[in-house]
């Protein structure tokens, strides 16, 4: 686990760490923001952000290699989730920097803890501001409809917002970056994709099976003794469910270690977004962001190439969620 993850683990639990009925009660407070209808309404904003970021990269392309992670994969999902939450535009750069420090896997414990505290303090102030001055955003809904009615404490609201900010950032950075790497590693499929971007939804479904940007997130603690697969998990013991391994199950997916965007994938059988009542609340948003992010790149700069050999790509540490920490490219 990254130092930022360790720091966040000390925070008060949110719905992802709760059992029923508390889990669903808190989850339902924010579900509306990630519905298919609401996500579809965000498409023009996400597309505009993607185009602006590509414009900026093209303007810099004459100066040498560009870090795809820093210039595109990081800011795109960051700006999206911040808009949903209601973060003022002038604070986007500051918050993106703090979030990157706590989640990039290379920060020291002190740096990650400091960034964690900074984010919590900032979000606490924003929640209190929305209690006094409502806006048109998710934080306002929590403040006006949940805190004021006594359904949610101010502290719990801050933790929920923190969860959404972090989950809507780091994992998406990973998946967008891994999506580009995977496409470049499969040139025939990439060529077909560039010719027909209507294939993008199938590419995204296969990407979410092939990679999992939050592979370390499914942590569970046994409440009673459980025997599973001939092994006893005692009450109080913890496990990390290997969802990524499940997505490579040859009994479900033929040739699972091969990336095939033409694969007939049943999203319900894929574990990239979890399973059951704890399945990721933002699955619709995540797939939409990946689709727009990569389609924009393949449409606007189809000749994009890595500026380094595949073997030199800087992946995140093996103890962290799979991702790419930097990705030099040439347009």
> Catalytic one among 2, 49, 177, 321?
321
> What's the distance, Cα to Cα, between the start and end of the chain in Å?
34
> Catalytic one among 103, 280, 296, 316?
280
Other beta carbons within 10 Å of 137: 18
- Give the pLDDT of residue 54: 98
Q: Is 214 a catalytic residue?
A: yes
- In the predicted model, what is the mean pLDDT of residues 86-92? 87
Could you name the CATH architecture of 3-212+279-314?
Orthogonal Bundle (1.10)
> Catalytic one among 49, 96, 113, 214?
214
- Give the pLDDT of residue 312: 96
- Give the pLDDT of residue 262: 97
Q: How confident is the model at residue 155 (pLDDT cuts 50, 70, 90)?
A: very high
**Can you give the length of the chain in residues?**
331
> Which region among 27-31, 195-199, 209-213 has the lowest average model confidence (pLDDT)?
209-213
Tell which wins on pLDDT, 6 or 42.
Answer: 42
3-state SS of 175-211 is HHHHHHHHHHHCHHHHHHHHHCHHHHHHHHHHHHHHC
* pLDDT exceeds 80 at position 80: yes
- Please tell me whether residue 324 adopts helix, strand or coil conformation: strand
> Catalytic one among 80, 171, 182, 218?
171
Q: How confident is the model at residue 242 (pLDDT cuts 50, 70, 90)?
A: confident
Mean pLDDT over the full length of the chain: 90
- Give the pLDDT of residue 110: 84
Q: Is 232 a catalytic residue?
A: no
Least Cα distance to 86 among 48, 39, 143, 40 occurs for 143
Question: Both tokens of residue 285?
Answer: 């948003």
Q: Is 321 a catalytic residue?
A: yes
Q: Is 243 a catalytic residue?
A: no
- In the predicted model, what is the mean pLDDT of residues 158-186? 92
- In the predicted model, what is the mean pLDDT of residues 223-245? 90
The pLDDT tens digits of the residues spanning 273-307 come to 888 888 889 999 999 999 999 999 999 999 999 99
* pLDDT exceeds 60 at position 6: no
């Amino acid at each position: 686990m990254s130092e930022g993850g360790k720091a966040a683990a000390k925070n008060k639990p949110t719905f992802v760490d709760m059992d029923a009925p508390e889990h669903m009660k808190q989850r339902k407070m924010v579900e509306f923001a990630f519905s298919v209808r609401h996500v579809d309404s965000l498409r023009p904003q996400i597309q505009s952000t993607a185009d602006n970021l590509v414009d900026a990269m093209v303007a810099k392309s004459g100066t040498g290699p560009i870090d795809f992670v820093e210039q595109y994969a990081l800011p795109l999902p960051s700006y999206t989730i911040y808009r949903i939450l209601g973060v003022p535009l002038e604070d986007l750069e500051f918050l993106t920097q703090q979030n990157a420090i706590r989640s990039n896997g290379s920060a020291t414990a002190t740096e990650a803890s400091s960034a964690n505290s900074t984010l919590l303090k900032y979000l606490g102030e924003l929640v209190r501001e929305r209690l006094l001055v409502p806006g048109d955003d998710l934080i306002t809904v929590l403040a006006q409809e949940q805190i004021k009615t006594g359904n949610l404490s101010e502290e719990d609201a801050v933790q929920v917002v923190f969860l959404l900010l972090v989950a809507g950032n780091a994992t998406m950075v990973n998946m967008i970056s891994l999506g580009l790497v995977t496409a470049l590693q499969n040139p025939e499929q990439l060529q077909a994709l560039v010719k027909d971007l209507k294939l993008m939804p199938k590419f995204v479904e296969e990407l979410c099976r092939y990679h999992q940007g939050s592979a370390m997130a499914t942590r569970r603690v046994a409440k009673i003794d459980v025997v599973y697969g001939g092994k006893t998990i005692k009450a109080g013991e913890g496990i990390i469910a290997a969802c990524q391994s499940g997505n490579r199950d040859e009994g479900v997916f033929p040739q699972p270690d091969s990336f095939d965007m033409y694969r007939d994938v049943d999203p319900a059988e894929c574990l990239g977004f979890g399973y059951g009542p704890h399945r990721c609340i933002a699955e619709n948003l995540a797939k939409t962001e990946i689709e727009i992010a990569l389609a924009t790149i393949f449409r606007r700069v189809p000749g994009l190439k890595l500026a380094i050999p595949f073997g030199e790509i800087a992946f995140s540490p093996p103890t962290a969620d799979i991702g790419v920490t930097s990705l030099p490219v040439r347009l």
